[in-house]
Amino acid sequence: MNKCLIHVCCLPCLLGEIDKLRELNLNYSLFFSNSNMDTLSEFNKRKDELSKLNYPIIIDEYDHGDWLSSLDCLEKDPKTYPENSDRCLACLKYRLKRAFDYAKKNNFQYVFSTLSISLYKDTDYLNKLGFDFEKQYGIKYLLLNIPPNEWKEVSLKKSKELNCYRQKYCGCEFSKDS
């Protein structure tokens, strides 16, 4: 069975997609790579939620300093909605690239990102990047056909059923309300 690495930003986002993913005949592992989190405790809080689903979980190193350096002075970009400032695009690239790097080293045939269907992200940018990486790495970038409003509805419903932690901010210090 083909292996698919799922880059997971948080459990609520994944829950909006999990039924469609289960319909595909793939062997899934969850990849938690989110150095964008402002604190280690926030990183751990979101990571621990993943054990509510029964999939292997790979935890990438938490290195917020490296993530900040990768932004290349874009950290002062204004907070936007959806999250599509240059800072956010650099952040999406940083995280998706780590998923492809891991997938390449560990012989995955597919990469999927929970961020690819979202009302809050620049999904056009992310998905174009995913297809660029697909060519570069020789690994399929998986996209699901789920309307964002349907994704949100399912995510909310399942999050309540599982009593999920539903964070009030995207993750970095710049996404918090001041």
Binding site for ligand SF4 (CB under 6 A): 36, 83, 87-88, 91, 170-172, 174-175
* Cβ 173 to ligand SF4 shortest distance, Å: 8
116 or 175: CB nearest ligand SF4: 175
Edge to edge, the sheet with strand 57-59 lists: 57-59, 27-32, 3-7, 110-113, 140-141
| Per-residue three-class SS string for 99-160 | HHHHHHHCCCCEEEEHHHCCCCECHHHHHHHHHHHHHHHCCEECCCCCCHHHHHHHHHHHHH
Residues in the chain: 178
* Cβ 61 to ligand SF4 shortest distance, Å: 17
Q: Decide: 32 and 57 in contact? Cβ < 8 Å.
A: yes
96 or 170: CB nearest ligand SF4: 170
82 or 138: CB nearest ligand SF4: 82
* Cβ 1 to ligand SF4 shortest distance, Å: 32
* Cβ 52 to ligand SF4 shortest distance, Å: 22
Tokens of 1: 């069975």
17 or 122: CB nearest ligand SF4: 122
